[in-house]
Amino acid sequence: FPRREADALSLSVIGTGYLGATHAVCMALLGHSVVGIDVDENKIRSLASGTLPFYEPELQELLRRMLESGRLSFSTDFSAAAGADIHFLCVGTPQMPDSPAADLRFLDAALARLAPHLDRACLVAGKSTVPIGTAERLAAFLRSSSPAGDQAELVWNPEFLREGHAVEDTLHPDRLVFGVASEWARDRLAACYAPVIADGTPVVETDPATAELVKAAANSFLATKISYINAMAEICEATGADVNQLATALSYDNRIGGRFLKPGLGFGGGCLPKDIRAFTHRAKELGVGQAVGFLQEVDAINQRRRQRTVDLITEMACGDLAGVHVTVLGAAFKPDSDDIRDAPALDVARMLHQAGAKVTVFDPKAMDNARRAYPDLAYADTLEAAVTGAEIVALLTEWDVFRRADPAALGALVQRRNIVDGRHALDAEAYRAAGWDYRALGAPSKL
């Protein structure tokens, strides 16, 4: 935790999902007085009573502590935000239902509800991920629709936290980006994050448009790195080379680095897929679509990994999945989260089910969300129950509990010792020694 508290500011956080709830709790931890506001009454009721409505390591305990401190409260009433020094916009910006563009209706609606309550000098700080140009448009709206007029200043302060590490990433981010148009705005944001900055976090001060672009560019780079190694996995599959060893060899090159160079089933979640699509769409609108044309390929490579995983499982089933008992380990889009938005594991489970397999899913935290989204799949309550009687086990989200499982003990429960490691997360040799037919994407099978 930061070494010192900030001089207390009054803050509002609009939108209390994965990002907003984390931000609200962490800002209270820094010493500020924070109200979290959302239109979802159930979410607000849950947060106000001290129950985090999603899973995120450490956050549940901190939520309780901050509510007890009296510095944190939650409301569905936007008038509770009146008088705050900074209003953080953290609402969702999902993909449009019928186009690759970002859906900004929630953001627009949130600002429209907030603006009438802004009657004194304050900052409105956008944290949501948005297409470049959004801040400029919202700033014009804010000037014309809030009683504070020019004194309500719009800034962009994009967020880079990772689910599963959200608290750590908020308190110790790699960098803070302040997209500001005045020294006053810069100083106020710096006062808000003072303990984080005092801990050595670099601050990049820039204009709002560049700040918006930093987020789109960062996510595009990360997605590209993942798809790059997965493209190499396709080559490996055609040649008998081993992508895991290739990635290891590449990672020793400091110019390349090993992070985000893990081959496997690819990325999903509520950010990377929709962010690269929205970025591509926005670039086309701006007449520079060619500049990021490669992102469509990044997306396509990523989607192909899902089909390839289904193909590998089908190969193990000798070409016919009908009636085959496949256990899918993992549902969340990544470990240490219960978020199933665009989760590769569930997408593969759905495809297997459609092909006639009898699919049983187990995930340590995402079961409720998965059951709601995919009621047709079967679910087991424990890892052991999930694999019992399986003809093929597919590890698709690399939770630690799956990594640590004993191959011999699992082997005693299954009907056949067939495993597809969709994340290169398991010790292949240990599984083979325990009599499993172990296969992984981009790695030659050894019988």
What whole-number distance in Å separates Cα of residue 162 and Cα of residue 156?
A: 19
Based on the shown chain and the rule CB under 6 A, indicate whether residue 36 belongs to the binding site for ligand NAD. Answer: no
Based on the shown chain and the rule CB under 6 A, indicate whether residue 93 belongs to the binding site for ligand NAD. Answer: yes
| Binding-site string for ligand NAD from residue 156 to residue 175, where x marks contact by CB under 6 A and - marks none | ---x-x-x------------
In Å, how far are 69, 128, 218, 404 from 74, measured between CA atoms? 14, 19, 31, 39
> Per DSSP, which regions of 188-324 are E strands?
203-206
Instruction: Output 129 or 369, the one with its CB closest to ligand NAD.
Output: 129
Of 14, 59, 138, 301, which one interacts with ligand NAD (CB under 6 A)?
Answer: 14
Of 79, 109, 175, 285, which one interacts with ligand NAD (CB under 6 A)?
Answer: 109
CB of residue 35 to ligand NAD, shortest distance in Å:
12
Based on the shown chain and the rule CB under 6 A, indicate whether residue 46 belongs to the binding site for ligand NAD. Answer: no
> Which is nearest to 388 in space by CA: 411, 419, 413?
413
Based on the shown chain and the rule CB under 6 A, indicate whether residue 85 belongs to the binding site for ligand NAD. Answer: no
Based on the shown chain and the rule CB under 6 A, indicate whether residue 336 belongs to the binding site for ligand NAD. Answer: no
Q: Cα-flanking dihedrals φ and ψ of residue 13, to 5°?
A: -125, 115
Residue 365 assigned as binding residue: no
Based on the shown chain and the rule CB under 6 A, indicate whether residue 298 belongs to the binding site for ligand NAD. Answer: no
> Which is nearest to 425 in space by CA: 411, 404, 446, 407?
404
DSSP tag of 188: H
**Piece in contact with ligand NAD (CB under 6 A), picked from 2-10, 105-113, 244-252, 431-439:** 105-113
CB of residue 76 to ligand NAD, shortest distance in Å:
9
Based on the shown chain and the rule CB under 6 A, indicate whether residue 128 belongs to the binding site for ligand NAD. Answer: yes
What whole-number distance in Å separates Cα of residue 73 and Cα of residue 71?
A: 7
Instruction: Output 161 or 352, the one with its CB closest to ligand NAD.
Output: 161
> Per DSSP, which regions of 81-189 are E strands?
86-89, 122-126, 152-156, 176-179
What whole-number distance in Å separates Cα of residue 314 and Cα of residue 321?
A: 6
Name the residue whose CB lies closest to ligand NAD: 17
Specify the 3-state DSSP secondary structure of 395: strand
Based on the shown chain and the rule CB under 6 A, indicate whether residue 38 belongs to the binding site for ligand NAD. Answer: yes
**Piece in contact with ligand NAD (CB under 6 A), picked from 87-95, 142-150, 320-328, 396-404:** 87-95
Of 28, 30, 35, 91, which one interacts with ligand NAD (CB under 6 A)?
Answer: 91
Based on the shown chain and the rule CB under 6 A, indicate whether residue 138 belongs to the binding site for ligand NAD. Answer: no
* Binders of ligand NAD in range 251-270 (CB under 6 A): 270
Say if residue 244 is exposed, middle or buried (CB neighbours under 10 Å; 0-12, 13-18, 19+). Answer: buried
Say if residue 183 is exposed, middle or buried (CB neighbours under 10 Å; 0-12, 13-18, 19+). Answer: exposed
- Bridge partners of residue 125, in order along the sequence: 88, 155
Residue 162 assigned as binding residue: yes
Residue 106 assigned as binding residue: no
- Which residues belong to the active site? 271
Instruction: Output 105 or 403, the one with its CB closest to ligand NAD.
Output: 105
What whole-number distance in Å separates Cα of residue 75 and Cα of residue 23?
A: 15
Residue 396 assigned as binding residue: no
Based on the shown chain and the rule CB under 6 A, indicate whether residue 131 belongs to the binding site for ligand NAD. Answer: no
Cβ(178)–Cβ(204) under 8 Å?
Answer: yes
Enumerate residues 6+ apart whose C-beta is below 8 A from 250.
229, 256, 258, 261
CB of residue 438 to ligand NAD, shortest distance in Å:
32
Of 8, 50, 106, 373, which one interacts with ligand NAD (CB under 6 A)?
Answer: 106
Q: Long-range contact list for 255-261, CB < 8 A, 24+ apart?
A: 260/222, 260/225, 260/226, 261/225, 261/226, 261/228, 261/229
- Residues in the site for ligand NAD, rule: CB under 6 A? 14-20, 38-40, 43, 90-93, 106, 109-110, 128-129, 159, 161, 163, 270-271
* Residues flagged as binding site for substrate: 160-163, 215, 260-264, 268, 334
* Residues flagged as binding site for NAD(+): 38, 43, 93, 129, 163, 274, 341
